[in-house]
Amino acid sequence: MTATTETATKTHPAIVTNPWESAQRQFDAAAELLNMDKSLRAVLREVRRELVVRFPVRMDNGSLKIYEGYRVQHNLTRGPAKGGIRFHPNVSLDEVKALSMWMTWKCALVNIPYGGAKGGVIVDPQELSMRELERLTRRFASEITLLVGPESDIPAPDVNTNAQVMAWIMDTVSMESGYSVPAVVTGKPQEIGGSEGRPAATGRGVTIVALQACKRLKMDPASSTVAIQGFGNVGSISAQLMEQAGFRIAAVSDVYGGIYNPAGIDIAKLLEYREETGKVTGFEGTEPVTNEELLELPVDILVPAALENQLTSENAPRIKAKLVVEGANGPTTPDADAILESRGITVVPDILANAGGVTVSYFEWVQDLQSFFWEESEINARLENIMVKAFNQMCEQADSHSCSLRLGAYLVAVSRVAQATQVRGIYP
Ligand code: NAD
């Protein structure tokens, strides 16, 4: 490398709670209640494979930057590993490990035949041109083909990655194979084997479980206000679909800050405004709130749909919502969870609340493998069946053990993976 070489890797800034420790604590609670055998517990509380890659990317000015990325497979017992790829400056190996473990439980909870994986690159994509982003994506895709493939490990979009990024990954793997491999990623554009309904799937799942939770808590959607943190794929579509389902969206935010109007925000108009300005802040008829203030607003339902560690032991005592629906992965720390539970606040856990995305990803992969594509109505109906079934199974466990919905969901998911591990036995 003769050109200027600059390392683009950064260490994670001080985080309140290490997400990997949170993930292991959540697993431990379920393993304890299931009275799980010690050796099985030791297997399931660690990740199976972790790949760390460092790779150069040519910048538009001719210089090279070295990036660090990860692909982690937590578990492959029930099928190929499945999980998104995140581009963010705060990505760390521990974060990716946590996200991969949560994917294992999520897939098991909705009973789709996948294990769990996740990937990430330490990068702020906003600092890259489109061409630089494409080169970074293609090189990262090539680096992780050691693990990735339609039968082994299937990536999807996550924070700061989208259908275009998936198209570049699909193309890279296809060029290296000599033929098209659509089933290697999900969340692709429809032109190359993407599925109807996939872009909206996570938000649709959030809406389905929010409605189920309202029924359980005897809350009326039409008289319930909602605050949503994060206005990306998950947050913005949850806002649209929850509004259509009758909820009043009183606050939303993105990385630049939030907006609040207790009388309700017109989401279609807000989407137009965001399209023009790139932000939600400054939208007519709303007052500004910070991301921290948004979490503590006097609303009925809170949907964290941005990043981990948003509800902590520090702010949990001040949360006013009766119901938290976790659109993001890991937004609530275990300490905050205990506080919310003691205050009678119901939390629909991430592994169910945002499972709509991986469920329709599964449909996309099945369609790609069969080269036979379904109507959106069929996809949405199947998604709803799966989400409602998993919601009810979670509630049955939570009610029979008098525990939180999170623990109820873990009991369903962890026991499915444990049973699959036991029936397969130990190799050799
Ligand atoms: P995205 O990149 O589309 O959107 C992220 C949003 O969060 C943006 O609006 C961004 O401005 C905002 N944001 C970023 N940092 C923030 C901060 N510090 N405070 C407030 N807002 C902030 O990402 P996404 O795909 O919507 O993912 C959001 C969450 O949902 C992540 O936890 C992800 O793992 C999870 N998730 C995503 C999917 C999916 O299908 N995309 C599926 C399941 C779970």
CA 344 and chain centroid, separation: 25
Strand order in the sheet with 257-260: 287-289, 257-260, 248-254, 225-229, 301-304, 323-325, 346-348
DSSP H or E stretch at residue 225? strand 225-229
Reported as a single tens digit per residue, the pLDDT across 150-180 is: 999 999 999 999 999 999 999 999 999 999 9
Residue nearest to atom 39 of ligand 1 (CA): 158
- 409's tokens: 């969901």
**What is the rounded CA–CA span in Å between residue 15 and residue 64?**
30
Angle at 42 between CA 41 and CA 44, to 5 degrees: 65
Residue nearest to atom 4 of ligand 1 (CA): 232
Specify the ligand 1 atom closest to the Cα of 99: 34
Specify the ligand 1 atom closest to the Cα of 308: 32
Residue nearest to atom 35 of ligand 1 (CA): 328
Counting residues of the chain whose pLDDT is more than 70, the rounded percentage is 96
Residue nearest to atom 22 of ligand 1 (CA): 255
pLDDT band at 68 (very low <50, low <70, confident <90, very high): very high
Count how many residues are written for the chain. Answer: 428
Q: Is residue 11 over pLDDT 80?
A: no
Residue nearest to atom 36 of ligand 1 (CA): 328
Q: How far is the CA of 308 from the centre of ligand 1 (A)?
A: 10
| Adjacent-strand bridge partners of 75 | 116
Question: Which amino acid makes up residue 394?
Answer: M
Q: Is residue 376 over pLDDT 60?
A: yes
Residue 16: what pLDDT? 60
For residues 68 and 95, is the Cβ–Cβ distance under 8 A?
Answer: no
Residue nearest to atom 15 of ligand 1 (CA): 255
Angle at 321 between CA 317 and CA 327, to 5 degrees: 105
Which of 283, 272, 220 lies closest to 246, judged by CA?
Answer: 220
Secondary structure (3-state) at 64 = strand
Pocket test for ligand 1, best of 88, 159, 161, 308 (most atoms within 8 A of CB): 159
Q: How far is the CA of 328 from the centre of ligand 1 (A)?
A: 6
Reported as a single tens digit per residue, the pLDDT across 228-249 is: 999 999 999 999 999 999 999 9
Pocket test for ligand 1, best of 90, 158, 228 (most atoms within 8 A of CB): 158
Reported as a single tens digit per residue, the pLDDT across 392-420 is: 999 999 999 999 999 999 999 999 999 99
Reported as a single tens digit per residue, the pLDDT across 256-311 is: 999 999 999 999 999 999 999 999 999 999 999 999 999 999 999 999 999 999 99
Residue 13: what pLDDT? 40
Q: How far is the CA of 232 from the centre of ligand 1 (A)?
A: 5
Reported as a single tens digit per residue, the pLDDT across 109-146 is: 999 999 999 999 999 999 999 999 999 999 999 999 99
pLDDT mean over 378-388: 98
Q: How far is the CA of 202 from the centre of ligand 1 (A)?
A: 11
**What is the rounded CA–CA span in Å between residue 140 and residue 344?**
44
Reported as a single tens digit per residue, the pLDDT across 49-58 is: 999 999 999 9
**What is the rounded CA–CA span in Å between residue 329 and residue 102?**
8
Residue nearest to atom 28 of ligand 1 (CA): 306
- 195's tokens: 């599925």
Report residues whose beta carbon is within 6 angstroms of any ligand 1 atom. 157-160, 202, 229-235, 253-255, 291, 305-307, 327-329, 354, 357
pLDDT mean over 183-199: 98
pLDDT band at 8 (very low <50, low <70, confident <90, very high): very low
For residues 81 and 116, is the Cβ–Cβ distance under 8 A?
Answer: yes
From residue 172, how far is each of 120, 134, 182, 209, 252 by CA, in Å?
17, 10, 11, 36, 36
Q: How far is the CA of 428 from the centre of ligand 1 (A)?
A: 41
Specify the ligand 1 atom closest to the Cα of 358: 42
Catalytic residue (one of 118, 215, 218, 322): 118
For residues 194 and 188, is the Cβ–Cβ distance under 8 A?
Answer: yes
Q: How far is the CA of 62 from the centre of ligand 1 (A)?
A: 32
Contacts of 297 (CB under 8 A, 6+ apart): 227, 250, 251, 260, 289, 320
Specify the ligand 1 atom closest to the Cα of 258: 20
Specify the ligand 1 atom closest to the Cα of 187: 40
Mean pLDDT of the chain: 96
Pocket test for ligand 1, best of 126, 234, 293 (most atoms within 8 A of CB): 234
- Known active-site residue 118: yes
- Give all domains of the chain, ordered by start, each with its CATH number: 5-10+48-187 (3.40.50.10860), 196-428 (3.40.50.720)
**What is the rounded CA–CA span in Å between residue 307 and residue 312?**
12
Pure H helices in 72-219: 93-109, 130-143, 163-177, 198-217
Q: What are the strands, taking DSSP E only, across 230-290?
A: 248-254, 257-260, 287-289
Which of 234, 232, 233, 239 lies closest to 267, judged by CA?
Answer: 239
Residue nearest to atom 20 of ligand 1 (CA): 255
Q: Is residue 6 over pLDDT 90?
A: no
Q: How far is the CA of 234 from the centre of ligand 1 (A)?
A: 6
Q: 119-137 in b/e burial notation, b at 16+ Cβ within 10 A?
A: bbbbbebeebeeebbbbbb
Q: How far is the CA of 422 from the centre of ligand 1 (A)?
A: 36
